[in-house]
Structure 1
Amino acid sequence: MKLTVLGSGSPEAYIRRASSGYLLEVGEDKILFDCGGGVFDNLVRSGRLPSDITHLFFSHLHTDHMMDYARLVHAAWDEGAKPLLVWGPKPIARQSELLFGREGVLSPDLIARTELAPSQQVWVARGGTLPRAWPSPQVTEISPGFAFEGNGWMLKSCEVPHAQPAFDCMAFSVESGDKKFVYSGDAGICDPLRKLARDADFLLHWCYCLTGEEVHPAIKQNSPNPAEIAQMAESSGVKRLLISHFRIHMDTEEGHERTRNDLEANFNGPASVAEDLEVYEI
C-alpha cells in the first residue's frame, strides 16, 4: 500500500495545507478518503488524474472533508471516466442529487455541456459519443460498522465521536496482505477506534489542538492533543503514527517542536506531522 497526503489541514484557508484528503493505493485501486477544499489541485499536482480515483470514502460530511467532491466528479466525468464509486454517511445521496441531478445546482452547466451544439462537437472531437450522459456517481450510504471487500483489500469502519448527532462520523481501516492502514477521520479517542487501530502498521490521526492548549470543554472532549494520540497509538500496538489536520496557529516552529517532543515521549515508533504531497509506503 502507498499513502499520498493530498490535504493535511483544516477548514481554515491556508496556502500551506489543503483540507482533508488522503489517497491510498492498493494494487490497481486508488482509494480516496475525504475530498476537502484544495484536495483536487493536490491530486493533479501529485501526477494523477481525477479519473484515476476508483473509490471515494467519506469519514463524515463536514465541508472541509468534501468541498472538492463536486469538482472531482465533474472533472472525472469530463475525462470520460466511469461513474465514481462513492460511500459515505447520510445524506450523501441527497447531496449528490442536489449537485448532479436534473434540478441540481450544476444543472445549467450540465445542460449546456450536453445539449449545446458547440459543446457536443467538442465532446465528439475528444472521442466522446452522443447523447452525452450526465455525471452520475454511484453513491452508497453507509453507517458505522460498514465493511467492504475490494480487489485484494478489506475495509472496515467504526463510529468515532465528533459531530453527532448532526451526522455519523467514522474511522476506517484497510487491510491488504499482512499490512493494515487506519484513518481516524475527525475523532475523539474511544474504545472502537482503539480496537480498529490494534496492531496497525500505519495510523493516520487528526490533531486539532496542541498539548496544554486552552480550548473550550465542548471541543476538548473530542479533540485529542499529540500526547494523547501518541499514548493511544502506543497502547494499541501501532507501528507508525502520522498526525494531520494541523491548524494555522499550530503550524509554527514552536508548535512543531512541542508536537515532536510529545510524540517522542509517548510513542516508541516513527511519528511525525503530515505535510501535503508527502508519500508513505506501508
Structure 2
Amino acid sequence: MKLTVLGSGSPEAHVRRASSGYLLDVGQDVILFDCGGGVFDNLLRAGRRPSEITHLVFSHLHSDHMMDYARLVHAAWDEGGTPIRVFGPPPIARITEGFFGADGVLAHDLRARTELLPSQEVWKARGGTLPRPWPSPVITEINPGFVLETDNWRLTSCEVPHAQPVLSCMAFAVEHAGLKFVYSGDAGLCPDLEALSEGADLLLHWCYRLDGETVHPAMEPLTPTPAQIARTAVRAGVARLVLTHFRIHMDAPGCHESALEMVKTHFTGPVSIAEDLDIYALSQGFDPGV
C-alpha cells in the first residue's frame, strides 16, 4: 500500500495545506479518503488523474472533507473514466443528486456538454461515443460498522465522536497483503477507534490542537493533543504514526518540534507531521513503540 497526502489541513484557508484528502493505492485500486477544498489540484500536482480513482470514501460530510467532490466526479467523467464508487454517510446520495441530477446545480452545464453539437463533436474527437451519459457515480450510503470486502483488500469502520448528532462521523481501516492502514477521520479519542487501530502499520490521525492549548470545554474531549494521540497509538500497538489536519497557528515556528517531542515522550515508533504531497509506503517491521 502507498499513501499520498493530498490535503493535510483544516477548513482554514492556508497556502501551505489543502483541506482533508488522502489517496491510498491498494493493489489495482485507488481509494480517496475525503475530498476537501484543494484536494483536486493536489491530485494533479501528484501526477495522478481523476479517472484513476476507483473508490471515494467520506469519513463525514463537513465541507472541508467534501468541497472538491463535484469537481472530482465531473473531471473523472470528462476523462471518460469508469464511474467512481462513492461511500459515505447520509445524505451523500441526496448531495450527489443535487450536483448531477436532472435539476441539479450542474444540470445546465451537463445539458450543454451532452446536447449541443459542437460539444458532441469535441467529445467524439476525443474518442467518445454518443449519446453521452451524464456523470453517474455509484453511491452507497454507509453507517458506522460498515465493511467492504474485495478480492484484494478489506475496509472496516467505526463511529468516532466529532459532530454528532448532526453528522455521522467514521474512521476506517484498510487491510491488504498483511498490512493495515487506519484513517481516524476527525475523531475524539474513543475505545472503538483504539480497537480499530490495533496493530496498524500506519495510523493517520487528525490533530486539531497542541498540548497546553486551551479550548472550550465542549471541544476538549473531541480534540486530542499529540501526547494523547501518542498514548492511544502505544496502547493499540501502532507501528507508525502520522499527525494531520494541522491549523495555521500550528505551523508557526517551533510548533512542529514541540508536537513531535510530546509524541516521542510516549511513542517510540516513527512519527511525522503530514504535509501536502507527502508519500508514505506502508511496510511491516516497525517497532510498535510499546
**CA drift at 1:151:** 3.1
CA deviation map 1:168-216 (0-9, x unaligned): 1000000012111000000001000010001111000000001010111
Contact 2:189/2:221, CA 8 A, preserved across alignment? no
* Cα separation, 1, equivalents of 2:229 and 2:150: 29
C-alpha RMSD of matched pairs (Å): 0.6
**CA drift at 1:254:** 1.7
**Counterpart residue number, 1:48:** 48
Contact 1:19/1:65, CA 8 A, preserved across alignment? yes
**1:255-266 to 2 correspondence within 5 Å?**
255-266=255-266
With the length of structure 2 as denominator, give the TM-score of the two structures. Answer: 0.96
* Amino acid paired to 1:119: S
Contact 2:204/2:243, CA 8 A, preserved across alignment? yes
CA deviation map 1:51-101 (0-9, x unaligned): 000000000000000000000000000000111100000000000000000
* Cα separation, 2, equivalents of 1:280 and 1:49: 19
* Amino acid paired to 2:80: G
* Amino acid paired to 2:104: G
* Cα separation, 2, equivalents of 1:156 and 1:191: 15
Give the share of equivalent positions with the same residue, in percent. 66
* Amino acid paired to 1:202: L
With the length of structure 1 as denominator, give the TM-score of the two structures. Answer: 0.99
* Cα separation, 2, equivalents of 1:77 and 1:117: 19
**CA drift at 1:235:** 1.1
* Cα separation, 1, equivalents of 2:203 and 2:45: 24
**Counterpart residue number, 2:274:** 274
**1:209-228 to 2 correspondence within 5 Å?**
209-228=209-228
**Counterpart residue number, 1:121:** 121
SS at the partner of 1:187? coil
* Amino acid paired to 2:36: G
* Cα separation, 2, equivalents of 1:29 and 1:96: 22
CA deviation map 1:214-260 (0-9, x unaligned): 11111112110111001100111000000000000111122111101
Listed as ranges, the gaps of 5+ residues in structure 2 are 283-290
**Counterpart residue number, 2:162:** 162
* Cα separation, 2, equivalents of 1:234 and 1:259: 16
Contact 1:22/1:34, CA 8 A, preserved across alignment? yes
* Amino acid paired to 1:133: P
Q: How many residues get paired?
A: 282
**CA drift at 1:268:** 1.1
**Counterpart residue number, 2:190:** 190
* Amino acid paired to 2:227: A
